[in-house]
Chain A
Amino acid sequence: MPIINYKTKEINCKIVYVGPSLGGKTTNIQSIHGVIPPNHKSNLQCINTEGDRTIFFDYFSLDLDEIQGFRTKFLIYSVPGQPYYKSTRKMVLNGVDGLVFVADSDKGRLADNIESLAELKEMLSDYGYDYQEIPLVFQYNKRDLHYITSVKEFQEALNDKKSKYFEAIAIQNIGVVETFKAICNEVIVTLNENISSQFYSRR
């Protein structure tokens, strides 16, 4: 649910990185955070276990400066992927405006990707979201591995809503920014369409 603050002239949108454990969600967040100039970002907040696995969430905000009189901010989160952190994942999804599903291309993990997406759909439904309507971009990560799920297989197994997708090697910063830009774009387009249909079409 984007928040529009008329006093500070800010539009805030929440983007969450989801997907199976060890798929590269945190790597994506760290890569994006690493290349954004300091004046456009908050510190990266990671709440991890001792072994550096995400336990709560990773978070930072991106400030795009003023655009048409309003500052646009994106609040970026990633969720812990391990199965037993289901309740934490659901918590972070509260109020989400856009999603990046980071799929693990390792051939042996296709079932984990499918299971993770099924859980996401269930959680979105619990919050009253229509999965077909919410902005979502897929990232097929770890394309540098030897035995990988093909793009065609991924598209058939995951992408039934024909969302945009990107191949990536997040650890090398390949495909990361492209994915991020795509979801920002989709969130703003959707927000704009909703504002137009709910307010301006009545005039």
Chain B
Amino acid sequence: MKFYSLSEETIKIIERNIQKLLRKARPKCVLLIEKSGYIITSKSEVDFKQPENMGAIAAGILTALQSTVSFVNATELTITFHNSSVDRIHFVMLTPKIFLVVLYDNQTPLKKMREGIKEFAKIIRQQLIKDETHPPKIDSVQFINEKLDEIFKDVLR
């Protein structure tokens, strides 16, 4: 089993650059997601119906689109909505496992948005590649089992 660990420093760099992207291109929402559906970090002014499930849904959409059409070497794709408060959803693959989702309206030209994202992606890709963190060792699964027993106590009685 492989695993991916992101250091505090990497997350701070990502968040700092998200702020920069927000100032520069004014997107409505930025999500950094791992392909399993886990949201690494996010900034949003959009009211999602189920915010906690957005990572799984976005990962599903991206993978479904990628399997529908062959993008060959493309690392970006945009979905355009019409007559909506959010006009475009832009996906960018940062690494084979991590992607960025940016939601924005028609006030921001696509070109300007892509320029901002390109700059962001360049910095973050490098950081993700060089990040090597020693993951925490969970000394005993006993704690996990105890927690699960507590959660399911009414059923396991």
Which residue of chain B is the closest to A43 with respect to CB atoms? B50
Roughly how many angstroms separate A47 CA and B133 CA in the complex, as a whole number?
Answer: 36
Q: When the two chains form the complex, which single residue of B3, B40, B59, B154 contacts A195, counting CB atoms closer than 8 Å?
A: B3
Decide: B151 and A36 in contact? CB cutoff 8 A.
Answer: yes
Instruction: Name the residue among A12, A37, A178 with the largest chain B CB count within 10 angstroms.
Output: A12
Decide: B1 and A67 in contact? CB cutoff 8 A.
Answer: no
Decide: A185 and B152 in contact? CB cutoff 8 A.
Answer: no
Decide: A3 and B38 in contact? CB cutoff 8 A.
Answer: yes
A154 on the B face (CB < 8 A): no
B72 on the A face (CB < 8 A): no
Query: Which residues of A sit under 8 angstroms from B137, Cβ to Cβ?
Result: 192, 195-196, 199-200
B19 on the A face (CB < 8 A): no
Interface size class of B (residues with CB under 8 A): 35 or more
Roughly how many angstroms separate A49 CA and B47 CA in the complex, as a whole number?
Answer: 25
Decide: B5 and A181 in contact? CB cutoff 8 A.
Answer: no
Within 8 A of B (CB), among A1-54: 1-8, 11-12, 14, 35-37, 40, 42-43, 45, 47
Decide: A45 and B135 in contact? CB cutoff 8 A.
Answer: no
Roughly how many angstroms separate A196 CA and B138 CA in the complex, as a whole number?
Answer: 9
A158 on the B face (CB < 8 A): no
Q: When the two chains form the complex, which single residue of A1, A60, A91, A192 contacts B138, counting CB atoms closer than 8 Å?
A: A192
Can you list 28 residue pairs at the A/B interface with Cβ under 8 Å?
Answer: A1-B2, A3-B3, A3-B34, A4-B3, A4-B136, A6-B5, A6-B10, A7-B12, A7-B41, A8-B11, A12-B38, A14-B38, A40-B151, A42-B53, A43-B50, A60-B53, A61-B52, A64-B147, A72-B147, A77-B37, A94-B63, A97-B1, A177-B156, A181-B152, A185-B144, A185-B148, A195-B135, A195-B137
Chain A residues at the B interface, C-beta cutoff of 8 Å:
1-8, 11-12, 14, 35-37, 40, 42-43, 45, 47, 56-57, 59-62, 64-65, 67-70, 72-73, 75, 77, 87-88, 90-92, 94-97, 133-135, 173, 177-178, 181, 184-185, 188-192, 194-196, 199-200
Chain B residues at the A interface, C-beta cutoff of 8 Å:
1-8, 10-12, 34-38, 40-41, 50, 52-53, 56-57, 59-60, 63-64, 67, 97, 133-139, 141, 143-145, 147-149, 151-152, 154-156
